[in-house]
């Protein structure tokens, strides 16, 4: 018997055999999230996107909590305690449905819950994390400001002591989940450096008007946070961190989810292009039979599955406690850029139909324009890697 006869068949959906790296639990988690997204998001998301809304977000959050998708890589306090790879697989499946849904989960788990889990007091953890893991309370993460996006160290939001209390004033911008959140983790300047604060959104002086007129992440709640003399008790501060290392470590955890999630958007667009190429006929035969179309599909497949393999590698490093922030930047920079290119190429295969919401391609492409910017722009990740490669700091 020849060696080739023992080989498994080529799988167009998994050309590198990456699934062989996954165990049964990994596959069950992936398939559970995929089935939920297919049932609860895909039939409706084009309409949500067109209308610029995410109706029933609280119900969706509770359902996501029910399948263990919120704070899923965190241990204890009602969290699932899943591996980093399992969390990444969930992000991929969620973003294959829509970036807005993955953003809901990422902000909840990798930013708000992660900050509480890593830097909060036991009282703060017990008060918020179980309800957030169940989706009963939605969280948001207030770092970016109107005039200070890539330079959070220059934030103007300030927290001052007033007797035994803290009083917060300032504004945060482009905050996912803000208008529906029950708790906000807000970062502010203090006399002792940047600190994080746990802010119940029903606090007097707190408001979160929703940002409208977006042409990206339309099926997502995006808000401004306004803090106008918001008075908090002394124990509202996160006790175990001071300085930018707090919010930046949270961002690194969220960026890791993007490394996987962006490949979900790319996969959905690639799959739409493959199916269209096999059924759309021009000059008497399917366009998938033409050399130029096959070249496009081959290039898209190469970048898609290289990106998934990169995400898997970074996940294994995170599970081993060996993942560096520079490596997360490597993954975010590569995978989001390639995902956008895959979407754009898919759009050319679909021709004029590529701009229609009957297909997911343009929706994913416009969503990825936001993903390219948030959690660090291309330029920021290039400079992170540039500094790591040369030892020279080009940020200043």
Phi and psi angles of residue 213, each rounded to the nearest 5 degrees, phi first: 60, 35
Do 164 and 122 contact (CB within 8 A), yes or no?
no
Residues noted as catalytic: 375
Do 39 and 48 contact (CB within 8 A), yes or no?
no
Q: Tell me whether residue 226 is exposed, middle or buried, using C-beta atoms within 10 angstroms of its C-beta: 0 to 12, 13 to 18, 19 or more.
A: middle
- 282 forms beta bridges with 285
Do 83 and 75 contact (CB within 8 A), yes or no?
no
The whole-angstrom separation of Cα 134 and Cα 62 is 6
The whole-angstrom separation of Cα 188 and Cα 238 is 11
Check residue 191 and report its DSSP letter: T
Residue 71: its H or E element: none
Burial annotation 203-217 (CB, 10 A radius, 16+ → b, else e): beebebeebeeeebb
Q: Tell me whether residue 385 is exposed, middle or buried, using C-beta atoms within 10 angstroms of its C-beta: 0 to 12, 13 to 18, 19 or more.
A: middle
What are the structure tokens assigned to 86, written together? Answer: 């399992």
- DSSP readout, 347-365? HHHHGGGGGSTTSSHHHHH
Q: Is 321 helix (H, G, I), strand (E, B) or coil?
A: coil
- DSSP readout, 202-224? TSTTEE-PBP---SSS-SS-EEE
What are the structure tokens assigned to 330, written together? Answer: 């490597």
- E strands in 81-146: 139-142
């Amino acid at each position: 018997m020849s060696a080739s006869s023992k080989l498994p068949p080529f799988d167009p959906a998994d050309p590198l055999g990456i699934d062989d790296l996954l165990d049964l639990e990994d596959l069950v988690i992936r398939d559970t999230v995929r089935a939920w997204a297919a049932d609860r998001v895909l039939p409706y998301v084009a309409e949500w996107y067109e209308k610029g809304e995410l109706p029933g977000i609280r119900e969706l959050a509770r359902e996501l909590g029910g399948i263990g998708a919120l704070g899923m890589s965190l241990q204890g306090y009602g969290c699932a305690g899943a591996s980093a790879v399992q969390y990444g697989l969930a992000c991929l499946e969620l973003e294959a449905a829509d970036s807005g849904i993955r953003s809901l989960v990422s902000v909840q788990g990798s930013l708000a819950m992660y900050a509480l889990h890593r830097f909060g007091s036991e009282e703060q953890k017990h008060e918020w994390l179980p309800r957030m893991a169940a989706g009963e309370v939605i969280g948001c993460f207030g770092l970016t400001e109107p005039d200070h996006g890539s330079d959070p160290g220059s934030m103007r939001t300030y927290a001052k002591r007033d007797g035994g209390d803290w009083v917060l004033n300032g504004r945060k911008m482009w905050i996912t989940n803000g208008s529906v959140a029950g708790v906000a983790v807000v970062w502010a300047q203090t006399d002792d450096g940047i600190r994080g604060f746990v802010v119940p959104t029903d606090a007097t002086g707190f408001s979160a008007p929703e940002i409208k007129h977006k042409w990206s992440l339309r099926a997502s709640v995006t808000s401004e946070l306004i803090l106008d003399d918001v008075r908090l008790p002394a124990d509202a501060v996160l006790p175990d961190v001071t300085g930018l290392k707090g919010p930046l470590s949270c961002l690194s955890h969220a960026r890791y989810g993007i490394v996987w999630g962006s490949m979900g958007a790319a996969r959905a667009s690639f799959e739409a292009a493959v199916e269209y190429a096999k059924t759309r006929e021009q000059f008497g035969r399917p366009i998938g039979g033409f050399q130029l179309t096959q070249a496009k599909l081959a290039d898209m497949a190469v970048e898609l599955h290289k990106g998934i393999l990169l995400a898997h590698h970074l996940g294994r490093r995170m599970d081993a406690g060996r993942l560096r922030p520079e490596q997360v930047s490597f993954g975010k920079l590569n995978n989001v850029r390639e995902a956008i290119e895959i979407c754009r190429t898919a759009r050319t295969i679909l021709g004029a139909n590529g701009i229609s919401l009957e297909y997911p391609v343009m929706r994913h492409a416009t969503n990825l324009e936001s993903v390219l910017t948030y959690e660090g722009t291309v330029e920021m990740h290039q400079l992170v890697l540039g500094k790591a490669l040369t030892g020279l700091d080009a940020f200043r």
